[in-house]
Amino acid sequence: MNRFLRDEYLDAMGIQQWVSRERPATPDTLPEDVTITPAAGRGSSDEAAVSGLGWPALEDRVARCTRCALHETRTRTVFGTGKRTADWLIIGEAPGADEDRQGEPFVGRAGQLLTAMLQAIGYARDEVYITNILKCRPPGNRDPLPGEVDCCHDYLERQIKLIGPRLILVVGRIAAQNLLQTDLPIGRLRGSVHRYGDAGIPLVVTYHPAYLLRSPLEKRKSWDDLQLAQQVYREVMSAGSSGHMPDK
């Protein structure tokens, strides 16, 4: 990306580029009022069946899913979008009203900001893969319930397996806490490199774009997170070419 376009996208994020900031260091109860079918949930036989699906069958399975009560209120399922062999996987929380109508993640104002954030570090939206931990919109945009997240877990796991990303960027507290199985606040999760799954995929946490729209002063911290993610990705690629993976 040329300097002019980069500056333009940083402006869209509301970041003054002359500000000098130090890069972050890189150290290594909701109610369960959700209807779950007997076959749903982690470790179920249905999950084992999902683990063998390819892209078309997986997307069809999600579109027809009735595991939890969210299927009764959704307009469309929101499977994911982008390059299915992408090195970068972006994972958010759940679809909102715009996403529910269009069937694509991050298409509203928050999505426009996410697109600008990615472009600021040199990535077009169609060069990464974007999805959520939940494939249906919770009514009123409420937080996902633990049972709902469990119902979608194997869908997300299969997407991750099929994509084989080199880096996972998680946006938002709820997605980060669910993926990392922790209740730590996002302020303690960002600024570090985590590892996800048996493959130990590097995972970086940042604020959700919707939060940044409400709290624009935090955009600088998200810019630091994006730089950290880019640094880790470069190290992963460099280590892959040399045959030695870095120990984060």
Report whether pLDDT(243) > 70.
no
Q: What is the mean pLDDT of residues 174-178?
A: 97
Q: What CATH number has the domain spanning 42-242? A: 3.40.470.10
Q: In this model, does residue 19 exceed pLDDT 70?
A: no
The per-residue pLDDT for range 181-217, each reduced to its tens digit, is 999 999 999 999 999 999 999 999 999 999 999 999 9
How confident is residue 177, by pLDDT bands cut at 50, 70 and 90? Answer: very high
With cut-offs at 50, 70 and 90, classify the pLDDT of residue 240.
Answer: confident
Is the pLDDT reported for residue 228 higher than 90? yes
Task: Please give the mean pLDDT across all residues of the chain.
Answer: 86
Burial class (CB in 10 A: 0-12, 13-18, 19+), 89: buried
Helix residue spans in the chain (DSSP H): 3-12, 45-50, 55-63, 97-102, 109-120, 146-163, 173-180, 186-189, 209-214, 219-242
DSSP sequence for 62-96? HHT--SSGGGGT-SS----EE-TT-SEEEEES---
* Tokens linked to 235: 């190290």
Long-range contacts, 202-205 (Cβ 8 Å, 24+) = 202/166, 202/167, 202/168, 202/232, 202/233, 202/236, 202/248, 203/167, 203/168, 203/169, 203/170, 203/179, 204/167, 204/168, 204/169, 204/170, 204/228, 204/229, 204/232, 205/170, 205/176, 205/180
**Within 10 A of 45 (CB to CB), how many other CB atoms are there?**
8
First-residue to last-residue Cα distance in the chain: 28
What predicted TM-score, i.e. pTM, was given to this entire model? 0.82
Token pair recorded at residue 44: 């179920």
H or E stretch including 194? strand 194-196
> Please, which pLDDT band fits residue 103 given cuts at 50, 70 and 90?
very high
pLDDT tens for 30-87 read 334 333 333 345 555 576 699 999 999 999 999 999 999 999 999 999 999 999 999 9
What does the pLDDT look like over 115-173, one tens digit per residue?
999 999 999 999 999 999 999 999 999 999 999 999 999 999 999 999 999 999 999 99
Q: Flag the least confident range among 8-12, 56-60, 181-185, 232-236.
A: 8-12
- For tokens 């633990």, what's the residue? 146
Domain ranges across the chain: 42-242
